[in-house]
Structure 1
Amino acid sequence: MKLTRIKTNLNGTFGTLQLPSGKVLSTLELLWKNNQRQISCIPAAIYQCDIVNSPKFGRVYQVKDVPNRSHILIHAGNWTKDTSGCILVGMRNNDTQLFESRKALALLMDELKGQSFKLEIIENYD
């Protein structure tokens, strides 16, 4: 799957996540701050993602083998305050937040059915 970062502003890093079916979800991450733990998005690269049971978020995907980082999840949330470096998903967004995040996460989980996948993160800013 491919996550394309398309816009960054003071409210975060916005992008799109294309599912295998072709459906597209919106994403929100923290701003790039040199991959610092809990305050930065992760580097653009290709990562392995596997299902985990998070004590806080339940059954979600974890992004593995991020340099100098751990516990990077793909989970529900609407604002950057809802993440400490993870990837948030939503059905749509504006310049400040995501909308219908739980619905987007349910769609992702239903489509992938717990199967592991490779996530390619690329940057395509205007």
Structure 2
Amino acid sequence: MKMSTTGDLYIDGHYCCKTLELPWKDNQRSVSCIPEGTYKVKSRYSTKFGEHLLVEGVPDRSYILFHPANDVKELEGCIAPVEKLTSSTTGIFSQNAFQQILFVVLQAKKEGKRVKLIIEG
């Protein structure tokens, strides 16, 4: 049984980092990765995660976040960027990878640009 979904994150066509998500479980809330598609990404603040990124427009789901996590066990339907995968369910330097993405998104926001996430199989 697959324990996670991993991917490569590109920003404007340039490789940025790896990603960790839960395995595909029919897009079920809190236990599944998100389906292929194009989604809006915007910055958000919470006391739990501080400044982080919110993925909007996922069918039948809400509050899907990009936030630091080095183990898929720390995720509840969210996406964790990591600099390097150490296994199929863990990675390292998630905080560093996340800060890179957050910087790009906040800069785009300052410039009045929209940010989108495209997930392809």
Alignment correspondent of 2:120? 122
Alignment correspondent of 2:92? 99
1:41 matches 2:33: yes
Aligned residues: 115
Alignment correspondent of 2:57? 65
Query: Does the C-alpha gap of structure 1 residues 66 and 94 become closer, same or farther in structure 2, counting only changes over 3 Å?
Result: same
Whose strand proportion is higher, 1 or 2?
Answer: 1
CA contact (8 A) 2:43 2:106 kept: no
C-alpha separation between the residues in 1 aligned to 2:13 and 2:93? 19
Which secondary structure state, in structure 2, belongs to the residue aligned with residue 84 of structure 1? coil
Unaligned runs of 5+ in 2: none
Aligned residues: percent identity?
35
Which secondary structure state, in structure 2, belongs to the residue aligned with residue 113 of structure 1? helix
Q: CA RMSD in A?
A: 1.6
Alignment correspondent of 1:19? 11
Q: CA deviation at 1:34?
A: 0.6
Q: CA deviation at 1:82?
A: 0.9
TM-score by length of 1: 0.84
Which secondary structure state, in structure 2, belongs to the residue aligned with residue 41 of structure 1? coil
Alignment correspondent of 1:5? none
Amino acid of the structure 2 residue aligned with 1:91: E
1:89 matches 2:87: no
Question: Which aligned segments of 4 or more residues in structure 1 are displaced greater than 3 angstroms?
Answer: none
Q: CA deviation at 1:92?
A: 0.9
1:55 matches 2:58: no
TM-score by length of 2: 0.87
